[in-house]
Structure 1
């Protein structure tokens, strides 16, 4: 087998997919089902090294890691968790959902600190205990009317209750002294979940020597040839119940274990944050980055479509979306739609983990948190030293390759002067001018640029600040336009000003007369000229073509929007109709289940609450 260092404490993290990892020597990722996998992850251990049951992972789930560790690893403590579920080693009691789990977003440095998932804390918590489990919960407190562990198993519609009876019969035959413990547990009201535990070597080896022969006999005596995918996982589900029985028996006979219970943390987004290398394609590449969440996908798609519709056939456009929770369905739909452009590549990167833990707010209702994602570009695309950033509330009428080719020299970025800010500076009250001087520290307030279209010299931006420094600066609550203000304050004197036609703000609510016209004559004239032949039209105000009829330059927007797959949805937004949530997964509860009466009114099908509940349900049922 592979040469694996001997750890004093080894907590194995079972995973079957690429996931984010904590900075830890104790938390050791293991690729489960490696014997069946098409790809072996070089960053993980593998459950098919040495003596193993890796090829039985479809039946045993995360237990293939447990078996592998039992047979091949020398340690003082053995622990097991999952790629999205970890123990909470912190001293703080965290708020739990109705199913008894602490819900968290991302696996990163922030959550590692919050939940004590660093090596020093983990070691200090484990020291002195024989067995650590997740908390034992009273099932009667769960939603859905669950009463006992037996009832809980019977409610799992894809499992077979007779399998529970079959394994109990095997247990009572082979270990009759466990009979009363099995009956007491299954007819009681408390249970711990998820096949998660940490044990000293001696009790761990004794438990494995007890558990696996029982499961092996169950598999040998059970015809599972017609079982569903979920039902095939029955040995893993049974192990979760058998662990509780084993634990109860040891407590009853007084083996003297020193035990402790820890909260379970369920991470909703365990995926890795992507770092992209430059494309290896023929022709010169134009890297373009946009940011969006799932709700903004129709507008995002319209922006990208307008850009590629006017793109040069001689260039290749590397379109990277910094996103937060864009659904798999939306990603698939966008990829299929943009296949018509062979000179473009569409890539998605989950940016949420990179901004998680920062105090990021906006002082304008129409500005979203995604506006901060532009600071991430220098880290997400480390191989590019020049990148074009576009907001997703604009349409492109020119070829952005021409914009990308602008020589920035030593400038940190290229941008268009902000006519709205200049108009505010021109007001007689002097408030915006004072803000620019006193808060932003700018010597030339009329040099303030609009950040919806940015040509970034990412090499220079990296020298100026790290991503961490940019985000902390942008968290200043005294700023009006947080991220845009920070860019202006930090980059003054390092800006190449672009032709105004590359970022033409629309005249919403008569703002050109009320605000823009107060700018210096040269600035206002440049704005008026840019409107004659705009290369990018930016709907930067509160009025957008999809939320207000008669918006300035709306006809340009709809010329592109009506050709996208989201035209009906955009039209519905304009007419004030509710946009129906797209269901992204099959129903988790059968049509005839009595739980429908409880679940459907509270968790409508296709809703975000429904998907969250489904994720929690998977955790409680022990599914990997």
Structure 2
């Protein structure tokens, strides 16, 4: 369909309610709005604010996203008024997408791909809206959500919603509008409704709806005691409006409005937060030593130990920009780490979420002791565009020397500085020929005796950027067949562009007796250099399955624990080593009703909608309610 000039210039306003910063799609018809701005300590610079003009922003704790709806009603002139949330948008395309039991399409990020896929742009919005009177989310059957027999039972199942509040609103509605009783009974005793408080209406309908809705909500608010309610029950007014929207439409249709109603799917973005961008630390050029790590939340104790060992032995004449690439480290653990490292006035600890970079790539590892985090180093060159050189360190090591000496290594035009991998090279000399065959068939290296260990790297980012883009690195990493994953890839792609470091900068410990069984097969000069480095190691690397936090008798374990015992996570490490399992986080039963309910963020992280974990929570909830 080709849009007419009139359609192209339709005055459509889709207000996107947000109580936290997010990625907002661009468009003249898309207007992000900070809700509850009257209570906010920080004003968003890139949104409208619901406390300007005629407003009820102060009522946001009770009225939720309705404060944006009220603001639009009183302050904006449009042909169509629509409402979405910072993590939920309409799918404005004509293409059906798979949805979960809550009637939601689940996706990860708001980016160019998803904006195009779901038509969240002016042209697609105009196409979808033209000719319709009302647009809502699809009617969802509460039997599908949780086996509920009707909307009243669905309401009552929420531990924070009280059935007498729903009855109170019902009484107010029937007293003010007796002709709505039949429709209220039909909706509340029925099984289907449009949820999420998302809709688009023609101006005349929107104004009629608000003139009917807000007096009802205001009377409820004035005649209800909120003083002893918990935070979520306080939001009852917002919950009620969802039911009232369905009752309003049902009544108007029954009494002859004959509106053209369209149902558009709802897209729920699990990660609507803005794409993190790191900035330069702003220190004098040449004084900053950037050091990058990659870890997940489970590895925080080991990560902290490694960073601590590094900073404890580092020169006090330099500034250290410590950057942790991560996906799921909790805010609590980040806070503990920042507090602990505050003792080092010349160090800055920063965290960078890599989720967006890795989306769409099938990254797996071939060894149980190698985690997905190993691939994070491939994104460094793009995530940190302001650095031309930096250090990358694994988290299963301790730094026993001054890291500035390593950083100051001259690379020239080489891409990498690293220590030769005596384990890999020792295998090359074995009679079975398995490693030599792997090099021949998979790696195709010209001289595999130059293979380096990638747990300690000095990286020339300018040179790395010329070799491959981040997308190209990750595409290569997605290919099967590698034994040592990213380490193999770096060796293949950087062959001939390596500066070799002294063995003392990456002394691999004697995991499973490999010194006598593997290392001693390496060329004699290499073996001798390794053995000498064990006497004065600058970095000890616990590469392999035998880790000091699991086996305190492993090689160099006392050195490791001399640092680990001084960190705030020492007790956790000892407990884990003793077989004490970490308690599981508490489970929450949650319904897809309140968009910005505080409980939602915990449930969405622990059990995303549509996941197996979510289904388990639903089973538990049904049993708790006496259902099968």
TM-score normalised by length of structure 1: 0.86
Q: In structure 2, how many angstroms separate the alpha carbons of the residues matched to 1:202 and 1:605?
A: 38
Tell me the residue number matched to 1:238.
240
Q: In structure 2, how many angstroms separate the alpha carbons of the residues matched to 1:127 and 1:513?
A: 76
1:35 to 13, 35, 38: 38
Q: CA deviation at 1:382?
A: 2.5
Q: CA deviation at 1:508?
A: 0.9
Q: CA deviation at 1:376?
A: 2.0
Q: In structure 2, how many angstroms separate the alpha carbons of the residues matched to 1:471 and 1:436?
A: 21
Cα contact 1:391–1:452 (8 A) shared by 2: yes
Cα contact 2:378–2:474 (8 A) shared by 1: yes
Q: CA deviation at 1:475?
A: 1.0
Tell me the residue number matched to 1:149.
151
Cα contact 2:425–2:448 (8 A) shared by 1: yes
Q: CA deviation at 1:536?
A: 1.2
Q: Secondary structure at the match of 1:362?
A: coil
Q: CA deviation at 1:181?
A: 0.9
Q: Sort the Cα spacing of 1:448 and 1:45 in 2 relative to 1 into closer, same or farther, 3 A.
A: farther
Asked if residue 493 in structure 1 is aligned to residue 458 in structure 2, the reply is no
Tell me the residue number matched to 1:85.
88
Q: CA deviation at 1:31?
A: 1.5
Tell me the residue number matched to 1:532.
535
Q: CA deviation at 1:541?
A: 0.8
Q: Sort the Cα spacing of 1:138 and 1:536 in 2 relative to 1 into closer, same or farther, 3 A.
A: same
Q: CA deviation at 1:84?
A: 2.3
Tell me the residue number matched to 1:51.
54
Q: Secondary structure at the match of 1:142?
A: helix
Tell me the residue number matched to 1:595.
none
Gaps (5+ residues) in structure 2? 1-7, 591-601, 622-628
1:472 to 464, 470, 475: 475
Cα contact 1:545–1:574 (8 A) shared by 2: no
Q: Sort the Cα spacing of 1:383 and 1:260 in 2 relative to 1 into closer, same or farther, 3 A.
A: same
Tell me the residue number matched to 2:143.
140
Cα contact 2:10–2:126 (8 A) shared by 1: no
Q: CA deviation at 1:615?
A: 14
Report the RMSD for the aligned CA atoms in angstroms: 3.3
Tell me the residue number matched to 1:445.
448
Tell me the residue number matched to 1:372.
375
Q: In structure 1, how many angstroms separate the alpha carbons of the residues matched to 2:470 and 2:494?
A: 15
Q: CA deviation at 1:160?
A: 4.3
Q: In structure 1, how many angstroms separate the alpha carbons of the residues matched to 2:212 and 2:295?
A: 51
Q: Secondary structure at the match of 1:13?
A: strand
Q: Secondary structure at the match of 2:342?
A: helix
2:291 to 277, 288, 292: 288
Q: Secondary structure at the match of 1:340?
A: coil
Cα contact 1:546–1:570 (8 A) shared by 2: yes
Q: CA deviation at 1:397?
A: 0.9
Asked if residue 62 in structure 1 is aligned to residue 56 in structure 2, the reply is no
1:320 to 318, 323, 326: 323
Q: Sort the Cα spacing of 1:181 and 1:320 in 2 relative to 1 into closer, same or farther, 3 A.
A: same
Q: In structure 2, how many angstroms separate the alpha carbons of the residues matched to 1:201 and 1:566?
A: 58
Cα contact 2:135–2:261 (8 A) shared by 1: yes
Q: In structure 1, how many angstroms separate the alpha carbons of the residues matched to 2:533 and 2:79?
A: 71
Q: In structure 2, how many angstroms separate the alpha carbons of the residues matched to 1:536 and 1:113?
A: 48
Q: CA deviation at 1:83?
A: 1.9
Cα contact 1:419–1:519 (8 A) shared by 2: yes
TM-score normalised by length of structure 2: 0.85
Tell me the residue number matched to 1:228.
230
Gaps (5+ residues) in structure 1? 590-603
Q: Sort the Cα spacing of 1:163 and 1:27 in 2 relative to 1 into closer, same or farther, 3 A.
A: same
2:98 to 81, 94, 98: 94
